[in-house]
């Protein structure tokens, strides 16, 4: 059995983003830890976001659920990542997406109000830079590549995803049907 990756501590992550160790280490030890089961929401679609969530173990995702039952997954979050909806954070608007557990999750709840404090401004800038780069890459991923190229790029950029996500989840993220993904995978494996 493959062991799951180990996430750096929240304190180490915050310090790497520019928070002073004297602030990050004691705070990270006091923040509430949660355990969720697959399918449980971290933040309901339409709710106001008050916290970000640091993933210590497991996988979360951001999905939009349409009235007709369709789901659109915009992002997955793995160990060592801070899970939050940037638009909701920056505008104070209700969440357009639901944050939910894909697998069993161990996480730390980080109040977003902390990001308004002056000592946290380096963390804010690091988060914004990270998100801007991610969005630019995802836009190019979706606009500049065929479905097969998107799958190949996903496997190259995120090699752990195919082993940890279902075909349906991967297809949804790539923007194709599971049947199309199956055909692409078959063509790649036999070509």
Q: If we measure between CA atoms, which residue out of 159, 131, 169, 162 comes closest to residue 38? A: 169
The residue among 135, 143, 128, 130 whose CA lies nearest residue 174 is 143
Give φ, ψ of 113 to 5 degrees: -60, -25
| Token pair listed for 94 | 């209700």
How many degrees, rounded to 5, is the angle at CA 176 between CA 172 and CA 180?
120
pLDDT at 1: 45
pLDDT in tens, 51-89: 999 999 999 999 999 999 888 999 999 999 999 999 999
What is the average pLDDT across 118-140?
95
Cα separation, 127 vs 64, in Å, equals 22
The DSSP secondary-structure symbol of 67 reads T
| For range 150-158, the mean pLDDT | 94
Among residues 39, 45, 15, which one has the least CA distance to residue 27? Answer: 15
Task: Say what the pLDDT of residue 191 is.
Answer: 63
- 83, 13 contact by CB (below 8 A): no
Name every residue whose Cβ is closer than 8 Å to that of residue 125 and which is 6 or more positions away in sequence: 18
pLDDT level of residue 190 (50, 70, 90 thresholds): confident
Domains and CATH numbers, the chain: 10-116 (2.60.120.10)
Average pLDDT score, the chain: 94
Beta bridge partners of residue 137, listed in sequence order: none
CA angle, 61 then 67 then 68, to 5°: 100
* CB-based burial, 136-175: b 16+ in 10 Å, e otherwise: eeeeebeeeeebbebbebbeeeeeebeebbeeebbbbbbe
Residue 174 backbone dihedrals phi, psi, to 5 degrees:
-70, -25
Which residue, chain included where needed, has tokens 């008050």? 50
The pLDDT tens digits for 91-112 are 999 999 999 999 999 999 999 9
């Amino acid at each position: 059995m493959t062991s799951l990756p180990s996430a750096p501590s929240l304190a180490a992550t915050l310090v790497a983003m520019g928070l002073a160790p004297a602030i990050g280490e004691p705070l990270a030890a006091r923040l509430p830890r949660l355990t969720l089961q697959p399918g449980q929401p971290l933040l309901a679609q339409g709710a106001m976001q008050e916290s970000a969530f640091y993933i210590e173990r497991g996988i979360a995702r951001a999905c939009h659920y349409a009235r007709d039952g369709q789901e659109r997954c915009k992002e997955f979050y793995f160990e060592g990542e801070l899970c939050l909806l940037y638009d909701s954070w920056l505008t104070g608007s209700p969440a357009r997406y639901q944050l939910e557990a894909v697998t069993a999750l161990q996480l730390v709840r980080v109040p977003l109000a902390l990001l308004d404090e002056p000592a946290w401004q380096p963390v804010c800038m690091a988060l914004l830079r990270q998100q801007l780069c991610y969005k630019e890459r995802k836009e190019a991923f979706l606009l500049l590549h065929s479905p097969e190229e998107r799958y190949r790029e996903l496997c190259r950029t995120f090699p752990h995803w195919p082993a940890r996500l279902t075909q349906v989840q991967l297809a949804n993220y790539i923007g194709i049907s599971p049947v199309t993904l199956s055909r692409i995978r078959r063509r790649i494996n036999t070509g």
